Structure 1
Amino acid sequence: MRLALVTPRYPPTHAGGGEVSARLLAEQLQQRGLADVTVYSFDGETEETVGGVEVRRLFDVPQYPYTLPNEIAYRKLREAEPDCDVFHAYNMHLHPAVGRLSRRLDTPAVATLNAYPLINWADIGVTPSIQRKAYERTLLRLERPRLKHQMRNIDVFLPLSRAVERVYRDHGFAEMDYEVIPNMLDDSFEIPERNERDTKRTRVLYVGYLRDSKGVRFLVDAMEHLPVTFELTIVGDGPEKDALGKRAAESSGRDRIDLTGSVPYEQVTQAYVNADVFVHPGVWPEPFGRTILEAMQAGLPVVATEIGGPAETVPQESLLCEPGNAVELAECIERADKDRDRIGAENKRFVRDRYHPDTVVPQFGRVYDRVQNN
């Protein structure tokens, strides 16, 4: 089977976990002989082979307004004349172009749902920037009906979680065909050996982008409700970094909170090794959470909020708490710490059973077969 994987960016160009997930999918499909994959991305104008996969970078498109990059992508894809049996649209922004091309060429298409670009952010618990809010009230309001119409030409939507499916069903796509397929873990993700732990303290870790929807401010507040033996490390950067630093400085737990900013990937893996409990305190229906998989691979207990994809990923219900509740967050962190070795080992087994490529990749193969045979 010939698969055209269409994505705005592809490694080594990347902005986050979405690009990592696209690469893992393409390489796994190619290596397992399930598909002859060609990636079509829009982050340059080169042809190359990356990890054994042919990558054709057709153009460098802007992100906004959505009509413009979709029009450019549609035209460039038509010129490229993809010789494929199935289109797979990844990383959201070009899904309308793929739907439009799928209909024109009478070629089936599937699309991974891993973000909410056509939905007003305030409707899903994200505070939009001034620029985003202005865009939603003007151009996006005008663009949205046509872009949604083009997306409806896609045969099957592949949300990363049931939470994503619910959001899309509630925002104009109730009638679509859905099949939930999560992200897969990176089997090459290597965790250094742990040194002997200091049993007199508990090291709490957050890794990720720092914006208000991530809820990190509530994790900072939770430190005021935890014993003085608990220390917090926040790894990452983003628009909330300065505000979080100020919040931490004004907290009674200020001497136990460290904001490292962005660090090299090798230091991120070391942060997992140094930690005792990982926390994902989001306050919006985040589609998934690759850092949760990494933390579980590292054998850490994970505390999360009961919203979005992360709530479906953490297997221990007792470690899920109400979004935005610092007291409950602290209680869950203490609960995770008291049984951290058992929970960490349980997570390590769980993530390999449910999110290993051996489990996830065949799910894509079955969907590709289904849309070709319809």
Structure 2
Amino acid sequence: MTETAVTDGSDDQTDRPTLDVGFIPAECPGTGAVGATRTSELLIQKLSHHHDLTVYVASQAEADPERLPARDRVEYVLHDGLGKLPHPLLTKLDAMREEVDALGTHDMVHTYSPGFIPILADLDVPTLSTLNSYLPACPKGDFRYYDGEKCTGHGTAKCINCIAHADVDRRKGVENSLRSVYSSLGKVNYVDDAMTAIHDVDAFQALSPHIKDDYANMGVDRERITVVPHFYDDEFYHPEWDRPLDEGDGFTLLHVGRLQENKGQESLVRAMPRLLSNHGDLTLRVAGSGGYEEGLHKLARQLGVDHAIDWLGYVDHDDVPPLYEDADAFVYPGLLDEPFGRVLLEALGTYTPVLASDVGSTDYIVGDAGVRFEADDPAALADGFDALVADYERHRAAIPEQLERFAPDTVESAFLDLYAEVAETRTPATAGR
């Protein structure tokens, strides 16, 4: 490990160590443009400006060398095209265990998926895990007991009963339910292992204060958890799209997301009769597909609101930003306490005020740049929309200040500070090299 001056993206320079980092992304970079995969790609690009990275990939997807996100100071070790049996997660863990000796040669190892926490526990170098899901504590990954109230903690019998009950109640069809049951049951033993191993990880990055609190309540040392959020994607940063609301053109409300039960789109559709009664010129545009698509279309027809909904289906990542440009507001009706919500940053980056359910990290992300409502309550959603429209310009004016905490330079600097701190937690394997 050598000492050098590195920049945090501003004009000021701070002495931080240049590290040899083993980085384990959530998925194979370049194979997806949403969620943790996209964030991993952006983070690799940012961190490679300051540190030497070896990116260890374990994925069922096939890597495309031409789409890997960075080349300078980055080396890739690929375990791609993995089989799905006996279980996709277990197959990934087996592949990464083959790299334990190599991982132990770095100054520190960072996994951007808590799914690899059991690997970190076997290393003698400083370790960092991003907490961007509830996977280590919940086989279903949603931390909802019987698909309802927040879970208080795992247990083998408890988890098995929850999986069976939740999948009966999801009404997803037999094939989807069986697939979900298989996936969740295959993670029960993993959760036991992960919640034991989690105490041997040196440090954690939580995406929000909300998920920090959740993991601290599960017994993880609060002092070892640092909040460093996502940063907004430059592809979705368009301050020039800040324009006054033209009420003569009608109001366009946008939703982007996979159509599934826990995303809350049913409440959104059920709110449409009330929304249209108060705002007859409203159009709801829905970008996304999924297992609930047919059911949502049927519900919209039954409620007589299908004429006011523009079902866009799946939209390629590169074609999503213009959807925000054409929208007056973005709606997020999710039911889960998700660790973050990148779509909320996409909306704010395009200067689109947000209407969001009161779950997870929405308050932390949205702040005064939107209105929150009680989740799974169509009437509350409609009331929230009325409040957003009534004070529309104030919420839009709050966007620049709210965005600043998620600016790439701000978050990049926080990551560099965290890396420097984590690297000092143990004697690195390469110290003095």
Q: Where on the TM-score scale, by shorter chain, does this alignment land: which range?
A: 0.7 to 0.9
Out of 43-52 and 299-308, give the one that drifted further: 43-52
Q: Letter of the 1:204 partner, please give it.
A: L
1:57–1:248 CA distance, 2 compared to 1 (3 A): farther
Aligned-residue offset at 1:135: 4.8
Matched, 1:369 2:389: no
- Aligned residue for 1:316, secondary structure, equals helix
CA distance in 2, matches of 1:339, 1:196: 13
Matched, 1:142 2:155: no
Q: How many equivalent pairs are there?
A: 365
| 1:58 aligned residue (65, 71, 78) | 78
| 1:283 aligned residue (335, 340, 347) | 335
Matched, 1:85 2:107: yes
1:40 matched residue in structure 2? 56
Aligned-residue offset at 1:189: 3.2
CA distance in 1, matches of 2:354, 2:335: 16
1:248–1:193 CA distance, 2 compared to 1 (3 A): farther
CA distance in 2, matches of 1:17, 1:135: 20
CA distance in 2, matches of 1:313, 1:325: 21
CA distance in 2, matches of 1:340, 1:109: 45
Unpaired segments ≥5 residues, structure 2: 1-18, 148-165, 168-176, 426-433
Matched, 1:248 2:300: yes
Matched, 1:220 2:220: no
CA distance in 1, matches of 2:324, 2:315: 13
CA distance in 1, matches of 2:64, 2:247: 52
Question: Are the counterparts in 2 of residues 65 and 140 from structure 1 also a CA contact under 8 Å?
Answer: no
Question: Are the counterparts in 1 of residues 26 and 111 from structure 2 also a CA contact under 8 Å?
Answer: no
Aligned-residue offset at 1:73: 1.1
Matched, 1:229 2:252: no
Question: Are the counterparts in 1 of residues 26 and 40 from structure 2 also a CA contact under 8 Å?
Answer: no
CA distance in 2, matches of 1:235, 1:331: 23
- Aligned residue for 1:362, secondary structure, equals helix
| 1:124 aligned residue (134, 144, 147) | 144
2:205 matched residue in structure 1? 158
Matched, 1:354 2:405: yes
Q: Letter of the 2:20 partner, please give it.
A: R
Out of 165-174 and 310-319, give the one that drifted further: 165-174
Aligned-residue offset at 1:277: 0.9
1:255–1:96 CA distance, 2 compared to 1 (3 A): same
Out of 287-296 and 251-260, give the one that drifted further: 251-260
Aligned-residue offset at 1:253: 2.1
1:260 matched residue in structure 2? 312
CA distance in 2, matches of 1:329, 1:51: 42
Question: Are the counterparts in 2 of residues 47 and 57 from structure 1 also a CA contact under 8 Å?
Answer: no
| 1:98 aligned residue (120, 131, 146) | 120
CA distance in 2, matches of 1:179, 1:192: 29
2:291 matched residue in structure 1? 239
For residues 253-305 of structure 1, the C-alpha deviation after alignment (integer angstroms, 9 at most, x for no partner) is 22111211111233311110110111111111011111111110111110111
Question: Are the counterparts in 1 of residues 127 and 203 from structure 2 also a CA contact under 8 Å?
Answer: yes
CA distance in 1, matches of 2:353, 2:58: 38
CA distance in 1, matches of 2:131, 2:297: 33
Question: Are the counterparts in 2 of residues 19 and 91 from structure 1 also a CA contact under 8 Å?
Answer: no
1:344–1:10 CA distance, 2 compared to 1 (3 A): farther
1:110–1:203 CA distance, 2 compared to 1 (3 A): same
Out of 212-221 and 340-349, give the one that drifted further: 340-349
Aligned-residue offset at 1:84: 1.8
Q: Letter of the 2:415 partner, please give it.
A: F
Out of 8-17 and 60-69, give the one that drifted further: 60-69
Query: Greater CA radius of gyration, 1 or 2?
Result: 2
Out of 252-261 and 164-173, give the one that drifted further: 164-173
Within a 5 Å distance, the mapping from 1:158-237 to structure 2 comes to 158-171=205-218, 173=220, 177-189=224-236, 191=238, 198-200=246-248, 201-226=250-275, 227-237=279-289
TM-score, with length taken from structure 1:
0.88
Matched, 1:322 2:341: no
Aligned-residue offset at 1:340: 2.6
CA distance in 2, matches of 1:173, 1:250: 47
1:253–1:198 CA distance, 2 compared to 1 (3 A): farther
Q: Letter of the 1:178 partner, please give it.
A: I
Question: Are the counterparts in 2 of residues 47 and 55 from structure 1 also a CA contact under 8 Å?
Answer: no
1:21–1:238 CA distance, 2 compared to 1 (3 A): same
CA distance in 1, matches of 2:42, 2:378: 35
Question: Are the counterparts in 2 of residues 7 and 94 from structure 1 also a CA contact under 8 Å?
Answer: no
CA distance in 1, matches of 2:113, 2:208: 15
- Aligned residue for 1:5, secondary structure, equals strand
- Aligned residue for 2:320, secondary structure, equals helix
CA distance in 1, matches of 2:101, 2:229: 32
- Aligned residue for 1:245, secondary structure, equals helix
